[in-house]
Chain A
Amino acid sequence: EYSPFSGIEKGAVLQEARVFNDPQLDSRRCSQVITKLLYLLNQGDSFTKTEATEVFFSVTKLFQARDIGLRRMVYLIIKELSPSADEVIIVTSSLMKDMNSKTDVYRANAIRVLCRITDGTLLTQIERYLKQAIVDKNPVVASAALVSGIHLLQTNPEIVKRWSNEVQEAVQSRAALVQFHALALLQQIRQNDRLAVSKLVTSLTKGSVRSPLAQCLLIRYTSQVIRESSMNGQGDRPFYDYLEGCLRHKSEMVIFEAARAITELSGVTSRELTPAITVLQLFLSSSKPVLRFAAVRTLNKVAMTHPMAVTTCNIDMESLISDQNRSIATLAITTLLKTGNESGVDRLMKQITNFMSDIADEFKIVVVDAIRSLCLKFPLKFRTLMGFLSNILREEGGFEYKKAIVDSIVTIIREIPDAKESGLLHLCEFIEDCEFTYLSTQILHFLGIEGPKTSDPSKYIRYIYNRVILENATVRASAVSTLAKFGAMVDSLKPRIFVLLRRCLYDNDDEVRDRATLYLNTIGGDGSVVETDKDVKEFLFGSLDLPLANLETSLKNYEPSEEPFDIRSVSREVKSQPFAEKKAAAKKPTGLGAPPAGPASAVDTYDKLLLSIPEFSTFGQLFKSSAPVELTEAETEYAVNVVKHIFDKHVVFQYNCTNTIPEQLLEDVTIVVDASEAEEFEEVATKPLKSLPYDTPGQTYVAFEKPEGVPAVGKFTNVLRFIVKEVDPSTGEAEEDGVEDEYQLEEFEVVPADYMLKVGVSNFRNAWESLGPDFERVDEYGLGPRESLKEAVSTVIDLLGMQPCEGTEVVAANSRSHTCLLSGVYIGNVKVLVRLSFGVDSAKEVAMKLAVRSEDEAVSDAIHELVAN
């Protein structure tokens, strides 16, 4: 098909551009060439710096022409060419002349071009004209100036802020779009001053705003003001009536914006939501897909927090399941799954069944998650829902999708005891035909845990044994382990399990045969019905408490000799940063991977670790372990950090040491601690580190006794003492003799915050009420001049060492006051709650009111003393 640009080529067009230099300008021809240049740029082509400069210089000559169409093209191409600062000077005077031209379109476009290509210095020169343009009668000119102002605010804010008065006037303009642009610019100019924004919103919501676009902006700014004011106030929400009034606007965009703003109000009540939901319900049956999508998306979000409010829309949403647009249909389904009631579950499942085959995997996973939540909400309906899940498991799908379904079934089995038998059977049927080794092995492992506990474990054996016959080596090995578990846990099955395991001895794969051998020899008896020893069960199926990395290192270091490998020689110390790892583990969903118990905390690890050291085993329950405190700078020869473990009557300092010098081996490593500035502490025990080779972290401990229940504080200076032996890096062998040496470390303190555990509460108000005012203490303090309110708040939070609740550690920018809610557990297991109110004045002086409630008066006093000092 014919195209005016067929065969177009950059070089040729650049040649053609020479026509700009002709003394007799042919306007039409020039316009055509510019069009071609634009076409090239719009196709993704680009000019080199030289080419752009050349074209730019030629284009500047076109200012001589009087043709309006050509002039407009010139403005366009100048913006595309983005000339540099020294090139811009050439056109400045022409553009400034055009800025005052009688032709409106010249004025508007010249302003936009100038503002786009110019820098601050020129801006001050033309500022006068820009201010005039903002209040120009012609809306095109006014909008051009305002929009340029919005762009310029990013680079030259001080200049644009001087135009406030003119912009304010433009907000009152009768032209809808000028009002829209002016409002946007005014809000941006004033956005750092909450009071000014609030005033702006107040005046405009009372008046009439003509442009629907401006109304939308106003609704957004109103929401922002509501958000900021509700942090302090109570009672009726300001501006709610305005938002509710907008629900009756003639423009759909405004109605929707208002509805959405209402649904997003923090702490919104059902009464406030009702009018918004009514309006969104009407949109659900609109003929325009955009409106349907917008409505269903918003209702979906509301359903997460207020499912009851959305139930009125269920009927309309059911008809959206068959919507042509798949996004709309998926959103409708997931919303129904959240808002559905028990009686409607069967009908809903029937409708969804046909739908699932139409949508992509990522949508399906969303639906599966919603079904799982629904099942947990209505446990009596597990049969229908789990049946549905097992059906879709049989259909086509990718790994992530199937994994999501399996995880959901597992969760349902765990949470709903009645569902166990049928759920396990569904999983068994799945592994008969599962293409993903990962899923098969996980399911077999799960079967091994849950199957033996059922009323008739034998019915699962067939499925498991089939895997030994039919599948790949990994799955076969897993199946062997599962069979063994059944045999170990269910005595009556032992004879038959033994028969099956004996057959596995002939398998092709090493691992399978090894496992079978192991189980046959340890489970006990020779296949008669006897109980398996508890220790054996623990050995075979208990969890390995050792970190695998340490086990691997120890095994590598073990040299074959008369003495067998001793697993007790493997250090149990978890390497540094246990907090981060444990936190990550806690976030994993409870699918097949993670155990059903709560997330293991770092305290558990340290607890076990310290208990295993005989010198510290009598200290009792570990209260808190601090985060590691560095005692050396980065890149030093020996890197040491200390973890402070707090017990009731003792503190144990765990020094984690690393030797970064390959040519050295350190032995008999101890820390000599000077506690002269910690009078209440008395050293009672140390545990030296026997050997510290290159790059293998090790621990040494020093324990102190302190008065019971007293949060003693003190400063500790430390010196690392050791025997150093030279090591030949090529052989890795150390010399016989060593030299005694010392290395000075930094000091550290035990502070009151070490005696406070960061434990949050989900509802602070309830917790505060239940603690009661008996041991409440309130006082006020002046914190003096501080860098900022935010800094003062963080300092106090760190000092107290307590957990901020309900997000109150976040201080809003530019606010003059802030309330912070903290909670924690003090040593002696005393619950403590703190309410902090901060205020800052213009001289940056911060005042703070501290209210403490706890279960013990002494503790409340202690908190105040902390701050007072």
Chain B
Amino acid sequence: MLLAVLIANSEGNILVERFNGVPGEERLHWRSFLVKLGADNLKGVKNEELCVACHKSVYIVYTVLGHVSIYLVGKDEYDELALSEAIFVVTSAIKDVCGKPPTERLFLDKYGRICLCLDEIVWKVSSPS
């Protein structure tokens, strides 16, 4: 099960979050955990270079794209390899919409489009831009 998708800026403020089957109190824990994970490990990481972690039988794959960091959390069949496929699709979608790895400003400028694309992702984004 894909438990969460989180996109944050370089300061750790969350720009987009999507949870699936995670109760409210747990979300707070996940937000702070993921942001801390990024703060500890994403310095100096290249664009789209994947990082992987494991926390309480749950897998996390995360990366940096421009000035935003993207986290995917999954368990059971969404193990680290399935998550790495999924994160590739997310980063491709964002790059397509923004034209390049985005700064925070560019990301927010294209916010609506990004939401649409995240929703409509099928494979490589095939909908008209």
Contacts and interface: CB of A to CB of B under 8 A. Distances in A.
Interface of A: 1-5, 31-32, 34-35, 38-39, 42-44, 68, 72-73, 76, 79, 105, 108-109, 139-140, 143-144, 176-177, 213, 216, 220, 252-253, 256-257, 288-291, 293-294, 297, 325, 327
A142 B73 CA distance: 27
Contacts of B80: 290, 293-294
Contact of A290 (B14, B61, B104, B119): B61
A34 B79 contact: no
A73 B85 contact: no
B116 A76 contact: yes
Contact of B123 (A31, A72, A176, A288): A176
A257 B81 CA distance: 9
A1 B104 contact: yes
28 contacts: A1-B104, A2-B105, A3-B105, A4-B108, A35-B111, A35-B115, A38-B115, A42-B18, A72-B120, A72-B127, A73-B116, A76-B119, A79-B119, A105-B120, A109-B120, A140-B122, A140-B126, A144-B122, A177-B122, A253-B85, A257-B81, A288-B84, A290-B61, A290-B84, A294-B79, A294-B81, A297-B54, A327-B53
Contacts of B112: 31-32, 34-35, 38, 73
B39 interface: no
Contact of A252 (B52, B81, B128): B81
Interface of B: 14-18, 27, 50-54, 61, 77, 79-82, 84-85, 104-105, 108-109, 111-112, 115-116, 119-120, 122-123, 126-128
9 closest Cβ contacts across the A-B interface?
A35-B112, A290-B84, A290-B52, A177-B123, A42-B16, A293-B52, A253-B81, A38-B115, A290-B80
A213 B82 CA distance: 9
B24 to A, nearest CB: 10
B17 A44 contact: yes
B92 to A, nearest CB: 14
Nearest to A142: B122
Nearest to B119: A76
A143 B27 CA distance: 30
Contacts of A289: 50-52
A119 to B, nearest CB: 21
Nearest to A260: B79
Nearest to A39: B111
B77 A220 contact: yes
B109 to A, nearest CB: 6
Most chain A C-beta atoms within 10 Å of own C-beta, residue among B53, B61, B111: B111
Given A35-B112, A72-B116, A294-B79, A325 B105 contact: no
Nearest to B123: A177
Nearest to A331: B54
A288 B80 CA distance: 12
Most chain A C-beta atoms within 10 Å of own C-beta, residue among B14, B85, B105: B85
Nearest to A216: B82
A140 B27 CA distance: 32
Contacts of A31: 112
A122 B15 CA distance: 36
B14 A43 contact: yes
Most chain B C-beta atoms within 10 Å of own C-beta, residue among A72, A177, A256, A297: A72
Nearest to B27: A44
Nearest to B18: A42
Contacts of A32: 112
B52 A256 contact: no
B52 A139 contact: no
A533 to B, nearest CB: 56
A620 B13 CA distance: 75
A297 B80 CA distance: 11
A253 B105 contact: no
Contacts of A2: 105
A76 B16 CA distance: 15
B123 A327 contact: no
Nearest to A72: B116
Contacts of B84: 288, 290
A325 B52 contact: yes
A348 to B, nearest CB: 23
Contacts of B123: 139, 176-177
B41 to A, nearest CB: 9
A612 to B, nearest CB: 49
Contacts of B115: 35, 38, 42, 76
A35 B128 CA distance: 18
Contacts of B53: 325, 327
